[in-house]
Amino acid sequence: MMNYNELNEQQKYDIIQTKYIKEQKSFQAIAKEYGTYPNRILRDAKKLNIPIRSKSQAQKNAISSGIHKHPTKGRKRSESEKINIGSGVMKNWSNADPKRLAQKKASAKMLWDKKTDEEKNNMLSKANMAVRQSSKIGSKMEHYILNFLIENNYKVDFHKEQILANTRLQIDLFLPKMNIAIEVDGPSHFAPVWGEEVLSRNIAYDKKKSGLIVGKGYRLVRIKQKKDFSKSRASMVCDKLKSVLENINQTSSKIIEIEDNNA
């Protein structure tokens, strides 16, 4: 093997061109082969105007060649990792400037407009079915909160009918030992998802239900789920709910609200 340090520029150019460009080897692999240092190869490549791969390209080559293992392939992320990743993404978007958010919305609208009528109808049909299903068995947010409460040793009734002023109403989650009702209000409670008439009816019903719950002597925690469900956002809601429950006796408020966008 020739001594790299004794080569002339043309020989160095030929080696780097062959090994780095054609064979896609790394500077480290080339340096090891010729008994020198990776930075020496890198400096010579720059000097000889040989294009340097980006960090992402270098990483991709290292993974495809088997030099490095893929950082996540074949590994199942834990729930805490998923939540941390989701929280980071959520924080990133919550701090995004209005221009970036507008571009994101415009891009989403463009993708929607490109869909065929059949695709749009299928998506709307699935969404409607999910809403109807959640009204029967509980939404994802309700189940997430239910599991959270059970894990934290709260006795909880799920979707149990309560007799309130001779009216049978179903409370989403009820803590019988604390006389606390928890209602999870989805987007249709704040926006005309199913039209203005349905929205007005939902608002009126919520006011009536709140009055009956408070009139019974219960505390009411209303969780306003204004955004699509995500475990990251649900985790933040549960952290806020835990704080509310732990400090419930220190507040005189009969109705406490938690929003999923500022939990």
As a whole number, mean pLDDT of residues 134-147 equals 78
Cα dist from 6 to 2, 38, 40, whole Å:
8, 16, 13
Q: Are residues 41 and 12 in the same domain?
A: yes
Last residue within a domain, chosen from 135, 153, 174: 135
Q: What is the DSSP letter of 176?
A: T
Three-state secondary-structure class, residue 227: coil
**Which domain does 25 fall in, by range?**
4-64
In a domain, 72, yes or no: no
Q: List Cα–Cα distances, 198 to 3, 59, 201, in angstroms.
A: 81, 53, 5
- Both 89 and 167 in a single domain? no
Please, what is the average pLDDT of the chain?
A: 81
Q: Do 116 and 158 have their domain in common?
A: no
Distance CA 215, CA 114 (A): 51
- Measure the CA–CA gap between 108 and 95, rounded to whole angstroms: 19
Residue 71 included in any domain: no
- Same-domain check for residues 219 and 193: yes
pLDDT of residue 145: 93
What's the pLDDT band for 75 if we cut at 50, 70, 90? Answer: low
At residue 226, the pLDDT reads 84
**Residue 24 in this model has a pLDDT that exceeds 80:** yes
- Pairwise CA distance, residues 32 & 124, whole Å: 59
Residue 180 has pLDDT above 80, yes or no: yes
Give tens-digit pLDDT for 243-252.
Answer: 999 999 898 9
Residues 127 and 191 in one domain: no
In angstroms, the Cα distances linking 249 to 209, 212, 213 are: 22, 21, 18
| Cβ(213)–Cβ(120) below 8 Å | no
Please tell me whether residues 33 and 146 are part of one structural domain.
no
What gap in Å lies between CA 229 and CA 223, rounded to an integer?
13
Pairing of strands 157-164, 167-175: antiparallel
Among 103, 118, 135, which residue terminates a domain? 135
Least confident residue range of 34-38, 47-51, 83-87, 136-140:
83-87
Q: How many domains are there within the chain?
A: 3
Residues 232 and 250 placed together within one structural domain of the fold: yes
Q: Which of 80-89, 194-203, 227-236 shows the lowest mean pLDDT across its residues? A: 80-89
Q: Compute the distance between CA of residue 171 and CA of residue 163 in angstroms, rounded to an integer.
A: 10
Band of pLDDT at residue 262, cut at 50, 70 and 90 = low
- Residues 6 or more apart whose CB falls under 8 angstroms from that of 116 comprise none
Which CATH number fits the domain that encloses residue 149?
Answer: 3.40.960.10
User: 194 versus 203: which is more confidently predicted?
Assistant: 203
pLDDT at position 137, please? 62
pLDDT at 10 over 80: yes
Neighbours of 259 (CB within 10 A): 16
**0.85 cut: is pTM over it?**
no
**Tens digit of pLDDT for each residue in 206-234?**
998 899 999 889 999 999 998 888 888 89
Give the pLDDT band (50/70/90) at residue 68.
low
Q: Is residue 145 a contact partner of residue 222, using CB atoms and an 8 Å limit?
A: no
Section 126-134 average pLDDT: 56
